[in-house]
Structure 1
Amino acid sequence: MNLDPNAWVAVSFFLFVLAVFKPAKKAVLSGLDKKIDQIKAEIEEAQGLREEAEALLASYHRKQREALQEAETIVSRAQDDAAKLRIEAEVSIEAALKRQEELATEKILQLEAAAISRIQNMAVDLAIDATEKILGDRLTGKQGKELAENSIADLGKRF
């Protein structure tokens, strides 16, 4: 066989690769299998972490919705309570105003009655004084004095 030296180098390289490849094949395949198993484990761990993160996210979304519903409920209750308090305050104010109006009306009636009583007393006093003067001027002596005193005593009984 007459081969040129380049061909011999190629054949010897090919034989060397075959000789080295068989034992190295097991080591390379074993290393690749280990790397594949490691990558599979990392992928499974990542999937587990992803599922856990999705579950946490769903839980937080649910809690957020519940918190929003609770906040809406609290706001609704507060508005209802405020409306009730406003109505109660209006009723209370109306009752207080009515009481004050009744007290003012009663006070006015009392003042009116007192004024009427004073006017009547003044009228009686004026009538008595006028009667005394008229009778005193017209009736003289003992007869006039007795009539005036009896009339005055009688007026006091009538009023």
Structure 2
Amino acid sequence: MDATFWALVALIIFVAILVYVKAPAKLGEALDRRAERIRNELDEARRLREEAQQLLADYQRKRREAEQEAKDLVEAAKREAKAIVAEAKQKTEEYVARRTALAEQKIAQAERDAVNEVRARAVDVAVAAAGKLIADKVDAKTGGKLFETSLQEVKSRMKLN
């Protein structure tokens, strides 16, 4: 008997012992459990990936909505600013027009007052000059009467104007 025969016998005995203790079944069960665990991990990974994609889509949608809302707010602010500027411009123009009208009224009143004052002084000077001329040419009694009559006439004309 040679060594090959004894190696074959040892191999057969080893295989028989493995079959007796159900090592192939245990090995198959272990491999099945590992395959099931890997399958579960893959399913979990797929589920997590789908959730992550859904979350990403939600965040992108929310970001687009926020950007649109920000654009709308900016546009509304621009429109409101333009309205405020237009209103301020209109109010400024109205204020300037009112102030201009008031200044024109004051200038016109000052002109009227100046003209009236010049007229009054001219009348006073004319009356004084006439009085002096009349006094030089007319006797005192007649001159006084003429002066008073002229003075009353000038004053009555002043009141009419």
CA distance in 1, matches of 2:109, 2:5: 142
Alpha-carbon deviation of 1:46?
1.2
CA distance in 2, matches of 1:64, 1:53: 16
Residue 116 of structure 2 aligns with an amino acid whose one-letter code is S
Alpha-carbon deviation of 1:144?
2.0
User: Are 1:110 and 2:109 matched, yes or no?
Assistant: yes
CA distance in 2, matches of 1:101, 1:144: 52
Tell me what 1:31 maps to.
30
More displaced 10-residue stretch of structure 1: 121-130 or 134-143 = 134-143
More displaced 10-residue stretch of structure 1: 71-80 or 13-22 = 13-22
CA distance in 2, matches of 1:71, 1:47: 36
TM-score by length of 2: 0.91
RCO higher in structure (CA 8 A, sep ≥6) = 2
- Structure 2 residue ranges without an equivalent (≥5): none
1:10-159 to 2 correspondence within 5 Å?
10-21=8-19, 23-159=22-158
CA distance in 1, matches of 2:4, 2:116: 152
Percent of residue pairs identical: 36
Residue 60 of structure 2 aligns with an amino acid whose one-letter code is H
Alpha-carbon deviation of 1:84?
0.9
Residue 108 of structure 2 aligns with an amino acid whose one-letter code is L
Partner deviation per Cα, 1:44-86 (whole Å, 9 max, x = no partner) = 1111111111111110000000000000000111111111111
Give the ranges of 4+ consecutive aligned residues of structure 1 lying more than 2 Å apart after TM superposition.
Answer: none
Partner deviation per Cα, 1:76-117 (whole Å, 9 max, x = no partner) = 111111111111111111111111111111111011111111
Residue 36 of structure 2 aligns with an amino acid whose one-letter code is D
CA distance in 2, matches of 1:65, 1:43: 33
Partner deviation per Cα, 1:113-159 (whole Å, 9 max, x = no partner) = 11111101111111110111011111013222212222212221121
Residue 13 of structure 1 aligns with an amino acid whose one-letter code is L
Cα root mean square deviation, aligned: 1.4
CA distance in 1, matches of 2:19, 2:94: 107
| Count, aligned residues | 157
More displaced 10-residue stretch of structure 1: 43-52 or 7-16 = 7-16
SS state at 1:108 partner: helix
Residue 36 of structure 1 aligns with an amino acid whose one-letter code is A
- Structure 1 residue ranges without an equivalent (≥5): none
